[in-house]
Amino acid sequence: MRKMKRFAALTLAAVWSISIFTGCGNRNGNGSKEIIVGATIQPHAEILNSDAFQKKIKELGYTVKVKEYTDYVQPNEATEDGSLDANFFQHQPFLDDFNKENKGHLVSIAKVHYEPYGLYAGKTKSLEDIKDGSTIAVPNDSTNEARALQMLEAGGIIKLKENAGLNATINDIVENPHNVSFKEIESAQTPLVLEDVDFSVINGNYAMQAGLNVNEDALLIEDAKSVGADTYANIVVVKEENKDSGKAKALAEAITCDEVKSFIEEKYSGAVIPVF
C-alpha cells in the first residue's frame, strides 16, 4: 500500500509539474497570455497600442504584442505560417484575394473601421486645373484599384463600364474626357509619388503616415455611403483553425469595445470611422 501511495503521489506531482510548465509556456512575464498581432503603423498599430485597447485586453486575461509592418503582403504570410496570431491592416476583398491566390486559410473575426479614400494634389493643385494628359496614381492591387476608380467616377473624372463594380480596372474605363493617364503602383507608394504625378489616390492609413488629413487635404473623398465604404471595412484576421480560440475571442471583444470606439472617434476626427 505504501508503494502504491508513493507511486500515486509521484504521478500527481509529475502531472502538476507538466501542467504548470505548459501553462507558463502560453504566458508572458506578468502572468497574462500573449497575443502577437501584425499591423500597419497608422491607424492599426496605434489603435492596438492605445490605452483603451490595452486596458480591455488585459481585463480579458491577455496582453498584445504589436509587430509593425509597412506593406500589405508579409502580415498575411506570417499569420498563415503561424508567426503571428492575428493581423490587422486589410479589408475583406483584399483577404479574399490573398486566400485565393495563395491557397490561404485566413478569416475575419471582427470588423473595426473604415478609412475613406482620398484624391490628393500632386503637381496640379486643383481639380479645376486638370488638363489633358494629367497623371493620376492609383493602387495596383485589384481590390484597391477598383475602389479608387469608383471614387474617381463619383467625382466625374472618368466613367466605368456598367456593373464593373468591385472588379473594375483601368480597362473598364469607357469615358475619360481629360485623357487621364493612370500610374498603377503599390499602395504604400501612392503618397511618395505626389511630386511626380498630378494627383494620387491614397488609402487612409498611408495618407496619415504622410501627414495628410482626408478631411482637410483631399480634393475628393470617398462617400461614406458608397459600396466601397460598406465593403472595405478593416478587419482583424486569424487562421481559420484558430477563429474560436480564446485568443481570437478576446481580441475581437477588445477591439470592438466602447472605449476603443471612443478612442478612434476622438483621435482621428473622421479620417478613421468605427463600424461597430
Looking at the fold, whether 72 and 148 belong to one and the same domain comes out as: no
Looking at the fold, whether 216 and 142 belong to one and the same domain comes out as: yes
The pLDDT, as a whole number, for residue 269 is: 84
Q: How far apart are CA 103 and CA 230, in angstroms?
A: 26
Q: Is the pLDDT of residue 248 over 50?
A: yes
- Which tens digit of pLDDT belongs to each residue from 62-98? 999 999 999 889 999 999 999 999 999 999 989 999 9
Looking at the fold, whether 138 and 208 belong to one and the same domain comes out as: yes
Cβ atoms 255, 110 nearer than 8 A: yes
Closest Cα to residue 115, out of 202, 18, 3, 52? 202
Does some domain include residue 76? yes
Cβ atoms 199, 136 nearer than 8 A: yes
- Which tens digit of pLDDT belongs to each residue from 178-223? 999 999 999 999 999 999 999 999 988 889 889 998 989 999 998 8
Q: How far apart are CA 22 and CA 31, in angstroms?
A: 13
Exposure string for 130-151, b = 16+ CB within 10 A, e = fewer: beeebbbbbbbbbbbbbbbbbb
Rounded to 5 degrees, what angle do the CA atoms 258, 234, 99 make? 135
Task: List alpha helices for the chain, DSSP H.
Answer: 2-25, 46-49, 51-59, 74-80, 92-102, 142-154, 204-209, 214-217, 227-231, 246-255, 258-268
The number of CA neighbours under 13 Å toward the Cβ of 97 is 13
Does some domain include residue 4? no
Q: Is the pLDDT of residue 3 over 70?
A: no
Does some domain include residue 148? yes
The pLDDT, as a whole number, for residue 105 is: 97
Looking at the fold, whether 194 and 58 belong to one and the same domain comes out as: no
Pick the more confident residue, 26 or 172. Answer: 172
Mean pLDDT of the chain: 88
CATH number of the domain residue 240 falls in: 3.40.190.10
Burial class (CB in 10 A: 0-12, 13-18, 19+), 62: buried
Does some domain include residue 38? yes
Does some domain include residue 204? yes
Looking at the fold, whether 147 and 180 belong to one and the same domain comes out as: yes
The pLDDT, as a whole number, for residue 274 is: 92
Does some domain include residue 39? yes
Structural domain count of the chain: 2
The pLDDT, as a whole number, for residue 28 is: 52
Cβ atoms 38, 88 nearer than 8 A: yes
Looking at the fold, whether 162 and 219 belong to one and the same domain comes out as: yes
The domain in which residue 251 lies consists of 34-115+232-274
The pLDDT, as a whole number, for residue 231 is: 85
Q: How far apart are CA 70 and CA 68, in angstroms?
A: 7
Q: Is the pLDDT of residue 48 over 60?
A: yes
Backbone angles phi, psi at 192, to 5 degrees: -80, -10
Lowest mean pLDDT among 25-29, 80-84, 138-142: 25-29
Looking at the fold, whether 251 and 208 belong to one and the same domain comes out as: no
Looking at the fold, whether 243 and 212 belong to one and the same domain comes out as: no
Percent of the chain with pLDDT over 90: 72
Q: Is the pLDDT of residue 152 over 80?
A: yes
The pLDDT, as a whole number, for residue 193 is: 98
The pLDDT, as a whole number, for residue 31 is: 53
Pairing of strands 159-160, 234-239: unpaired
Does some domain include residue 155? yes
